[in-house]
Structure 1
Amino acid sequence: MQTNFAEFIRNTPEGEEAAAIVQKCVHCGFCTATCPTYQLLGDELDGPRGRIYLMKQMMEGAEVTESTRLPPARPPPCRNCESPCPSGVTYGRLVDIGRKVVEDQLEAKGVQRPLGERAVRWALREGVSRPALFGPALKIGRALRPLLPGVLRDKVPVTRAPGQRPAPRHARRMLVLEGCVQPSMSPNINAATARVFDRLGISLVAAPEAGCCGAIRHHMNDHAGALDNMRANIDAWWPAIEAGAEAIVMTASGCGVMVKDYGHLLRHDPMYADKARRVSALTKDLSELLPAYQAELAALVRRAQDAPRVAWHPPCTLQHGQQIRGAVEMLLAGLGVDVRLCADSHLCCGSAGTYSILQPALSKQLRDEKLANLQATGAEMIVSANIGCLTHLQSGTATPVAHWIELVDDLLRIR
Structure 2
Amino acid sequence: MQTHLAPEFQGTPEGSTAEAILRRCVHCGFCTATCPTYQLLGDELDGPRGRIYLIKQVLEGETPTATTQQHLDRCLTCRNCESTCPSGVQYGQLVEIGRQVVEAKVERPREERIKRWLLREGLTSPLFKPALRLGQALRPLVPGALKDKVPPTPGPRAHQWPQRAHPRKVLMLMGCVQPAMMPNINAATARVLDAAGVQTLVADEAGCCGAIRAHLNDHEGGLDDARRNIDAWWPMVDGHGGEVEAIVMNASGCGVQVKDYGRLLAHDPHYAEKAARVSALTRDLGEYLPALTPALRSRLGQDRPGGRPRLAYHPPCTLQHGQQLRGGVEGLMRELGFEIATAPSESHLCCGSAGTYSVLQPVLSKQLRERKLAALAPLAADAIVSANIGCIQHLQAGTSVPVRHWIEVLDDALST
Q: TM-score if structure 2 supplies the norm length?
A: 0.96
Q: Is the 8 A contact 1:151 1:360 kept in 2?
A: no
CA distance in 2, matches of 1:102, 1:144: 40
The within-5 A match list for 1:249-264 is 249-264=248-263
Report % sequence identity: 62
C-alpha deviation, 1:141, in angstroms: 1.9
Provide, for residues 286-308 of structure 1, a one-character-per-residue CA deviation record: whole Å limited to 9, x for no partner: 01111111122122113526232
State the partner residue of 2:196.
Answer: 200
State the partner residue of 1:267.
Answer: 266
Q: Which moved more, 1:204-213 or 1:73-82?
A: 73-82
State the partner residue of 2:300.
Answer: 301
State the partner residue of 1:399.
Answer: 401
- Determine helix, strand or coil for the equivalent of 2:170: strand
C-alpha deviation, 1:315, in angstroms: 0.2
CA distance in 1, matches of 2:34, 2:262: 28
Asked whether 1:358 is paired with 2:354, we answer: no
Q: Which moved more, 1:163-172 or 1:18-27?
A: 163-172
State the partner residue of 2:342.
Answer: 341
State the partner residue of 1:369.
Answer: 371
Q: Which residue among 127, 137, 140 is the counterpart of 1:143?
A: 137
Q: Is the 8 A contact 2:159 2:183 kept in 1?
A: no
State the partner residue of 2:171.
Answer: 175
The within-5 A match list for 1:15-414 is 15-106=15-106, 112-130=107-125, 132-161=126-155, 162-167=158-163, 169-243=165-239, 244-304=243-303, 306-342=307-343, 343-414=345-416
- Determine helix, strand or coil for the equivalent of 1:356: helix
Provide, for residues 21-63 of structure 1, a one-character-per-residue CA deviation record: whole Å limited to 9, x for no partner: 1111111111111100001000000000000011000110011
Q: Which amino acid aligns with 2:296?
A: L
- Determine helix, strand or coil for the equivalent of 2:340: strand
- Determine helix, strand or coil for the equivalent of 1:173: strand
Q: Is the 8 A contact 1:77 1:92 kept in 2?
A: yes
- Determine helix, strand or coil for the equivalent of 1:18: helix
Provide, for residues 222-254 of structure 1, a one-character-per-residue CA deviation record: whole Å limited to 9, x for no partner: 001000000000000000111221110001000
Alignment gaps of 5+ in structure 1: 107-111
C-alpha deviation, 1:143, in angstroms: 2.6
Alignment gaps of 5+ in structure 2: none
- Determine helix, strand or coil for the equivalent of 1:116: helix
CA distance in 2, matches of 1:371, 1:241: 40
Provide, for residues 72-99 of structure 1, a one-character-per-residue CA deviation record: whole Å limited to 9, x for no partner: 1111121111101111111111111101
Q: Is the 8 A contact 1:390 1:402 kept in 2?
A: yes
C-alpha deviation, 1:116, in angstroms: 1.8
Q: TM-score if structure 1 supplies the norm length?
A: 0.96
- Determine helix, strand or coil for the equivalent of 1:24: coil
C-alpha deviation, 1:168, in angstroms: 5.2
Q: Is the 8 A contact 1:178 1:206 kept in 2?
A: yes
